[in-house]
Amino acid sequence: MLENLIAQPADKILALMAAFKADPRDTKVDLGVGVYKDATGNTPVMRAVKEAERRIVADQTTKAYTGLAGDPAFGAAMRDLVLGDSVAAERVAAVATPGGTGAIRQALELIKMASPDATVWLSNPTWPNHPSIIRYLGMNMAEYRYFDSATRGVDFAGLIEDLGQIKSGDVVLIHGCCHNPTGANLRAEQIAEIITLMQTKGAIPFIDIAYQGFGDGLQEDAQITRQIASAFDNCLIAASCSKNFGIYRERTGILMGIAKDADQQKLTQQTLQFLNRQNYSFPPDHGARVVTTILNDPALRKDWEAELEETRNGMLVLRQQLADELRRLTNSDRFDFLAHHRGMFSLLGTSPDKVEKLRADHGIYMVGDSRMNIAGLNADTVPILAKAIVAAGI
Ligand code: PLP
Ligand code: TYF
């Protein structure tokens, strides 16, 4: 049997992680995989997470199964965090999932069940796992223009033109904040225009929010999601806790399905639980319990928010330092977009051979499409990167 297998395409981001590890140069700089790192290159366990884990270990009396949706308290806490009061709670179905990826997978399975002929529209570019999972599930897929390689902002005219082709029942996947890989984000008035267009066409929004709190702030980063969720009868939201709680390996995420009314919510909830059961029965609990403990305890929550703000502000400082250094070196404002982008990533907008040159000549690792993880920098490596960018003729 196993001789029939054919090699599957590797994840280019994870492959880059391995290449970085294997590089013996001690001057190497990792701007690859989207994991937050502090100035010393460490990915810390957040203070509130440590304390929540201590409490869970001390107080937990059982590790018996939760339920197919996970702990309902996690669902409620995440609904509040992501949606605020933008949508009535009785319209929201929710299941815990293994990470944001699990939520995306379950959302796509739900779409396939409910609407097998629908086309799922993705931004070009997007996170590579989006098209990979859609292709694996044998679903229809199309792209809408997103990135303007001249301004390194959003190509809004191109986006609107492409979304003009969507058909009734099609699904449009939108990054809730901190677009991966570009770092370029939509403004509220642009979202309003997209909403109107999608409503005219009868399309369904699917939001992937994996970096809430990494862009403009915890509430600010939820704005697009809330704006969209409150405007449609149906909406799917895949939220990840990996980044904003720093619990990557715990695999913590949630899929929320917003239904038209309470009856439709019941059916949606039942279906989401069915999908969890088909794939893994009960979702992982530990990370979800950590998140719930933090969100429901005012002191822990305050400390988590403060540390998340430090993280966010640290990345903004690095962005500004890099933009300033490049402004100084090039005597131009060509790289000012780096300070305007938000989240962990910026797409430099250069060719794969220049990215390769940065790796070969300077030991600077970024993804082949020229995505760099800003959190991989520190005050010492900012000038090194700026010099290398100029030396590579970018
Ligand atoms: N969506 C986007 C856009 C991402 O960048 C990520 C990466 O971390 C995820 C979803 C899901 O992450 P995880 O499955 O680790 O929660
Ligand atoms: O884009 C990134 O770097 C993160 C981490 O298969 C990641 O989202 C990368 C690849 C992958 C899963 C997570």
ipTM beyond 0.90?
A: yes
CB distance 361 to ligand 2 below 6 Å: no
Q: Please give the pLDDT value at position 342.
A: 98
Q: How far apart are CA 342 and CA 210, in angstroms?
A: 13
- Which residue bears the tokens 């969507």? 166
Q: How far apart are CA 345 and CA 262, in angstroms?
A: 38
Q: How confident is the model at residue 227 (pLDDT cuts 50, 70, 90)?
A: very high
- Write down the mean pLDDT value for the chain: 97
Q: Is 208 a catalytic residue?
A: yes
Tens of pLDDT, residue by residue over 290-338, are 999 999 999 999 999 999 999 999 999 999 999 999 999 999 999 999 9
Of 302, 301, 252, the C-alpha closest to 101 is: 252
Residue whose CA lies nearest to ligand 2 atom number 2: 34
Q: Please give the pLDDT value at position 277.
A: 98
Which ligand places an atom closest to the C-alpha of 251?
1
Q: How confident is the model at residue 172 (pLDDT cuts 50, 70, 90)?
A: very high
Tens of pLDDT, residue by residue over 334-344, are 999 999 999 99
Which ligand places an atom closest to the C-alpha of 100?
1
Q: Is 243 a catalytic residue?
A: yes
Q: Please give the pLDDT value at position 334.
A: 95
Residues of the chain by 3-state class (helix, strand, coil), percent to 5: 50, 15, 35
Residue whose CA lies nearest to ligand 1 atom number 12: 100
Tens of pLDDT, residue by residue over 65-92, are 999 999 999 999 999 999 999 999 999 9
Say how many Å lie between the CA of residue 387 and the centre of ligand 1.
31
Q: Please give the pLDDT value at position 94.
A: 98
CB atoms within 10 A of CB 298: 8
Q: Residues lining ligand 1, CB < 6 A? A: 34, 99-101, 127, 175, 180, 208, 210, 240, 242, 248, 253
Residue ranges of the alpha helices (H) in the chain?
12-22, 47-59, 72-83, 99-114, 129-136, 156-163, 188-201, 223-229, 262-279, 286-296, 298-330, 337-340, 352-362, 381-391
Of 346, 350, 325, 328, the C-alpha closest to 337 is: 346
As a whole number, mean pLDDT of residues 171-188 equals 98
- Record the tokens describing residue 211, joined without a space: 């970096």
As a whole number, mean pLDDT of residues 21-36 equals 94
Residue whose CA lies nearest to ligand 1 atom number 1: 210
- Record the tokens describing residue 195, joined without a space: 């909403």
CB distance 34 to ligand 2 below 6 Å: yes
- Contact predicate 283/97, CB 8 Å: yes
Tens of pLDDT, residue by residue over 239-273, are 999 999 999 999 999 999 999 999 999 999 999 99
Instruction: Check 127, 155, 222, 369 and give the catalytic one.
Output: 127
Q: How confident is the model at residue 38 (pLDDT cuts 50, 70, 90)?
A: very high
Residue whose CA lies nearest to ligand 2 atom number 1: 34
- Amino acid identity at 242: S
Q: Please give the pLDDT value at position 347.
A: 98
Contacts of 68 (CB under 8 A, 6+ apart): 95, 273, 274, 276, 277, 281, 282
Q: Please give the pLDDT value at position 332.
A: 96
Q: How far apart are CA 308 and CA 370, in angstroms?
A: 26
Give percent above pLDDT 70 in the chain.
100
Tell if the pTM clears 0.95, that is, is over it: yes
Domains defined for the chain, CATH in brackets:
10-44+301-391 (3.90.1150.10), 65-296 (3.40.640.10)
Q: How far apart are CA 116 and CA 262, in angstroms?
A: 24
Q: Please give the pLDDT value at position 168.
A: 98
Which ligand places an atom closest to the C-alpha of 34?
2
Q: Please give the pLDDT value at position 231.
A: 98
Q: Is 121 a catalytic residue?
A: no
Q: Is 127 a catalytic residue?
A: yes
Instruction: Check 118, 221, 238, 243 and give the catalytic one.
Output: 243
Exposed, middle or buried by CB within 10 Å (0-12, 13-18, 19+), for 192?
middle
Of 318, 388, 319, the C-alpha closest to 354 is: 388
